[in-house]
């Protein structure tokens, strides 16, 4: 494999991204970082541009806030078009994903095509979430596994490492989902294409600062998306 690229989507993450970028740049992998920012009004993009002289931090600025899933799709396209990056890592900007676990995810790609930083592969490892949020997340993953048969315990997790060859298998134009459902959709489609998927245990800690982007619409999107993935022929009939 070649150079590692870490994709970090942002919207109003000015404090977090200022702390995160130095940590990522200091990792032994010496990764490049691509920040996909949805024109944050709090100045997130300007902070990212302040790291441009490192030669390893890149800013992809989108004109409007268009959702987490499409931010990652834009980042995947950039990764596949620039620099021969392999592997590609995705993670949140808010330190809920421990940057020090990135090398472990990348190491797992010696034997697998996709490595998921899993909150539930070794018990329940979530810190500082209210019980209602934890139950929602855990139940969503159980629901996903039952409906789709996907053999992972944390299908909604957003901390992942991909081999470039796996990422290239995705039909990025066909991915329309966001939030929970985006994470499920990508993992499911790669699994169905024969990619080898593994889970690496992590401890998930609620964000350092800022506010969560979770909404009811994101939850409902995930509820319906799993059925669409599992029985696409049925939805095609309904839409005729």
DSSP string over 93-108: SSSSS-GGGHHHHHHH
Tell me which CATH code domain 5-239 carries. Answer: 3.90.550.10
The mean per-residue pLDDT over the stretch 11-40 comes to: 96
Distance CA 163, CA 115 (A): 9
Distance CA 116, CA 132 (A): 23
Looking at residue 240, what is its pLDDT? Answer: 41
Could you report the per-residue pLDDT of 171-224, keeping only the tens digit for each?
999 987 876 789 999 999 999 999 999 999 999 887 555 455 454 555 556 566
Could you report the per-residue pLDDT of 107-156, keeping only the tens digit for each?
999 999 999 999 998 878 788 777 877 888 777 888 888 888 899 999 99
Distance CA 213, CA 92 (A): 11
Which of the four pLDDT bands, split at 50, 70 and 90, describes residue 30?
Answer: very high
The mean per-residue pLDDT over the stretch 34-45 comes to: 95
Cβ contact 86:182 at 8 Å: no
Looking at residue 130, what is its pLDDT? Answer: 79
Cα-based torsion angle of the residue sequence 195, 56, 69, 76 in order, rounded to the nearest 10 degrees: -40
The mean per-residue pLDDT over the stretch 217-239 comes to: 59
Is 60 exceeded by the pLDDT of residue 14?
yes
Supply the pTM of this predicted model.
0.87
Looking at residue 206, what is its pLDDT? Answer: 77
Which of the four pLDDT bands, split at 50, 70 and 90, describes residue 167?
Answer: very high
Give the other-Cβ count within 10 Å of 35's Cβ: 28
Distance CA 233, CA 221 (A): 19
Average pLDDT of the chain is 87
3-state secondary structure of 137: helix
Give the gyration radius of the chain's Cα atoms: 17
Could you report the per-residue pLDDT of 44-80, keeping only the tens digit for each?
999 999 999 999 999 999 988 878 899 999 999 999 9
Distance CA 23, CA 97 (A): 12
Secondary structure element (H or E) that encloses residue 8, with its range: strand 5-10
């Amino acid at each position: 494999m070649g150079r590692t690229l870490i994709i970090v989507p942002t919207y109003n993450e000015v404090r977090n991204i200022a702390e995160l970028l130095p940590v990522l740049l200091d990792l032994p992998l010496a990764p490049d970082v691509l920040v996909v920012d949805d024109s944050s009004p709090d100045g997130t993009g300007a902070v990212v541009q302040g790291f441009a002289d490192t030669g390893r931090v890149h800013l992809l600025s989108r004109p409007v806030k268009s959702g987490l899933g499409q931010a990652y799709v834009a980042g995947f396209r950039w990764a596949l078009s620039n620099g021969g990056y392999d592997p590609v890592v995705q993670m949140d900007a808010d330190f809920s994903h421990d940057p020090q676990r990135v090398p472990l995810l990348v190491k797992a790609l010696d034997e697998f095509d996709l490595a998921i930083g899993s909150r539930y592969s070794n018990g329940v490892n979530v810190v500082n979430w209210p019980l209602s949020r934890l139950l929602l997340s855990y139940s969503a993953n159980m629901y996903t596994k039952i409906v789709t048969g996907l053999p992972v315990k944390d299908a909604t997790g957003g901390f992942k490492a991909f081999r470039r060859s796996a990422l290239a298998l995705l039909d990025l134009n066909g991915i329309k989902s966001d939030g929970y459902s985006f994470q499920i959709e990508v993992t499911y489609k790669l699994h169905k294409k024969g990619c080898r998927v593994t889970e690496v245990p992590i401890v998930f800690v609620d964000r350092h600062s800022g506010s969560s982007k979770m909404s009811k619409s994101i939850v409902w999107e995930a509820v319906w998306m799993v059925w669409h993935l599992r029985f696409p022929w049925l939805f095609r009939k309904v839409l005729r």
